Amino acid sequence: MSAASNGDGASAAKFIPKNIAPTQEQLAIQTAVDNTILVEANAGAAKTTTLALRMAESWSRGVPPANCMALTYTATARDALAAALSKIGVPAAVVRQFRIETFESFARAVLAEVDGGVVPTRPTAESLKATVWDAIEAIAKDEGERCRAELQIPSLGDNSAVESFLRVDHSLKGRMLLALDHGDSPITPELAASLGCSYTHLRVFKAYEQIRQPWHLDYPTFRGAFDATYDLAALILKDELPANLKAWPERVRVLLVDEMHDMNQAMNVILTRLLEANCFFCGVGDVDQVIYSAAGADSKFLQGEIKRRGTRRIKRLALTSSFRFDATLAKAVSRFKRKPCVSGSAHATKVATHGYADDAEADSCENQIVHAIRQWASSREKLSGFAVLLRHPSQSVALENALLAASIPYVSRGFDSYLMRPEILLIRGLLAVATDRFDSIDDPQTRRKVVEAFVFFCDVNIRAAGLDHLSQRELLKRAVDAVCDNPLILRDFFENQVLKGVTPMVANRLRNAVRVVQSESGPRLLARVMDALRLDLLAIGVFVEGERREEVQGNLLGLMQLADRFATPADFFLSLNESEVKLRGLRVAPARVVLAHVASVKGLEFDHVALPYLRQGEFPGPTGTPLEEENLFYVGITRARRFLSLYAHRELPSAFVGRLH
């Protein structure tokens, strides 16, 4: 039993946490008797921890953990909440019984019962591309089209058209605009303008959804990354959600939403329905951490929008102090975001800014970071407490090489090791063909990925005599299996399947690239291979997102810089393979440095956070909106507990760094 008590209508706490002493503000949320609470607070102000306290309190008061449900937008936020429960001393067996899910995984579980069958997920833009073109073709051919003059049909193969459609799809679904207010409205240019998209996009959206959910089927043919949330919300709005579904938490007593700033309208529809149960609700978030506005994320939900649809009276409670970092970093955060930020931390946080130069070896960002990690390890600090946060995955090429050379174990989050990215695997494949050393890639899985990279980038059409009855998919699988089982036949596969199964132009480029590797040497060799191959054009053909296509350029640039250190292409190829072996070896190390994309660590914290490559044009970069770039930087700097090391370009430092001082 506890001696804790507080005012504000709350009762005494039964759950006494380990590792922390809750503040009065936390206790007020842990024990509140109001049934609807919203908390808007800064990064590190214990939002997740306080939700964990509330769950633990309910469990201590006899609420079965299965009747406590917490929803988040990202899997990282979900895991962070489970970790916070463990940290405050909730037994692992109990943590497992709480329902902690992302909105999407919850929606999938509910829909799995409704669908009555398995609906395949297509998680990437590339896997949705063909359906987008089918939809575009359908509207182009539609003889009943009344506003043809308004239509702008893109030319076939233009991936940027697919990208911009998918953005609209994401936004319309996240905001539920069509389902909410315009469900039966005719599709007109005026409606498109009122929804903030073009008439063509709106027409494609309708056609795409008709392909995804044909009228004669009760369930969709596939779902994109966030379609389950949308489909479930649509079902709720149409009042067609069946009763008594096992996955629907009929008996929910405590309902929580972490990172509520990420909520969009589709999630809000689901949440509103869940709130019909007579349960306690608490939502927490930080409006400055919105980084998913493209998917309709809107801070209005955190700011009280849920009130509109229900009878609940919202009580706002505060968490004013950040425990993650000290007053020095809190002041810097406050200057950067122009908002109050107070620290309640007992530990100090050292903030240091270092300059780096592009060409000076010792002064390079990666060498300085290796040095910092070595110092960290020599002070007996855990490697897993050190995180290097990147704005762009391609920035990892030089860093990974430096970490591998220094034998520093690392794990990547939010992206694959550069050695496993498809464009790098394609180059490794070409080097293997040209040097006839495919067998030096010792892992069969990597060999498979190399062969798949050929197929992916070059759109190979496999032919096999006497097997015309098999689908391309099956033929491809057989061909890939054969090369993986016997690396010596890669050259044969390249000559007889790849070169003969691609367009003459692509075949020429591949041949030329192999010729350059075989006949030339010296510095800039890889640059000449790239010129021959025009991988940039191949990337434009396969990748839908502009940002991903730019990543290809960044990855290749990093690879070219690395290649210049080797005398021959064979040496370079073998060294890439050795790096992969080394990486695998380091993976079994008990503790590893975290190399992560900034967005992928939202909700997490590390003792030492390093932010490299702070150069104007890199971070903030040209791809994101100015506000989301700023929010990403805010997320990055507020992950630090004891050390924040910023690496700013000496000549072109990021303007963000200046705003901290």
Ligand X SMILES: Nc1ncnc2c1ncn2[C@@H]1O[C@H](COP(=O)(O)OP(=O)(O)OP(=O)(O)O)[C@@H](O)[C@H]1O
Q: Which of 45/441 has CB closer to ligand X?
A: 45
| 15, 74, 522 from 4: Cα distances, Å | 9, 33, 73
Does residue 89 have a known ligand-binding role?
no
Q: Which two tokens stand for residue 643?
A: 């050390």
638 binds ligand X (CB under 6 A): yes
Please report how close the Cβ of residue 376 comes to ligand X at its closest, in angstroms. 19
Least distance between ligand X and beta carbon 383 (Å): 19
636 near ligand X (CB under 6 A): no
90 binds ligand X (CB under 6 A): no
Q: For the range 14-20, what are the long-range contacts, defined as Cβ-Cβ under 8 Å and sequence gap of 24 or more?
A: 14/57, 14/60, 14/61, 15/53, 15/56, 15/57, 15/59, 15/60, 17/53, 17/56, 17/88, 17/89, 18/87, 18/88, 18/89, 19/87, 19/88, 19/89, 20/49, 20/87, 20/88, 20/323
- What amino acid occupies position 202? L
The answer to whether 45 is annotated as binding is: yes
- Using CB under 6 A, pick the residue from 27, 29, 32, 46 that binds ligand X: 46
Angle between helices 546-563 and 525-533 (to 10 degrees): 150
Q: 43 a known binding residue?
A: yes
In the numeric block, which tokens belong to residue 85?
């429960």
Flag whether 461 is marked binding.
Answer: no
**In the complex, minimum distance from the CB of residue 320 to ligand X, in angstroms, rounded to a whole number:** 11
Tokens for 445, please give them: 């899985």
In angstroms, rounded to a whole number, what is the distance separating the alpha carbons of residues 626 and 568?
44
Identified binder of ligand X from the candidate list 292, 301, 323, 493, rule CB under 6 A? 323
- Binding test (CB under 6 A) with ligand X, winner from 15, 31, 32, 44: 44
Q: Would you tell me how many other CB atoms lie within 10 Å of the CB of residue 481? A: 12
DSSP state of 138: H
* 327 contributes a contact to ligand X by CB under 6 A: no
**C-beta of residue 370 within 8 angstroms of C-beta of residue 406:** yes
The interface mask with ligand X, positions 113-152, x = CB under 6 A, is: ----------------------------------------
Q: Give me the count of residues in the chain.
A: 661
Q: Contact letters (x/-) for ligand X, 57-86, by CB under 6 A? A: ---------------------------x--
> What is the rounded CA–CA span in Å between residue 295 and residue 289?
14
Q: At its nearest, how many Å lie between ligand X and the CB of residue 660?
A: 17
Question: Residues 227, 286, 400, 545: which binds ligand X (CB under 6 A)?
Answer: 286
Using CB under 6 A, which of the segments 20-28, 192-200, 474-482, 532-540 binds ligand X? 20-28
Q: Give the residue, chosen from 6, 13, 22, 161, that forms a contact with ligand X under the rule CB under 6 A.
A: 22
Q: Is 44 annotated as a binding residue?
A: yes
The piece of 21-29, 99-107, 212-220, 616-624 that touches ligand X (CB under 6 A) is 21-29
Question: Would you say 328 or 512 has its CB closer to ligand X?
Answer: 328
Site size with ligand X, rule: CB under 6 A: 21
Tell the burial category of 94 from Cβ atoms under 10 Å away from its Cβ (0-12, 13-18, 19+). Answer: middle
Closer residue to ligand X in complex, CB, 255/399 = 255
Does 402 belong to an annotated binding site? Answer: no
Strand partners, 387: 594, 609
Report CA torsion sign: 98, 103, 107, 109.
Answer: negative
Q: Give the range of 39-47, 350-358, 468-476, 583-591 binding ligand X by CB under 6 A.
A: 39-47
The residue within the footprint of ligand X, chosen from 27, 47, 400, 451 (CB under 6 A), is: 47
Residues 296-315 that bind ligand X (CB under 6 A): none
Residue 66 C-beta-side C-alpha neighbours within 13 Å:
6
Q: Which residues pair with 223 in a beta bridge?
A: 121
The binding site for ATP consists of 41-48
The binding site for ligand X (CB under 6 A) comprises 20-23, 26, 41, 43-49, 84, 87, 286, 323-324, 603, 605, 638
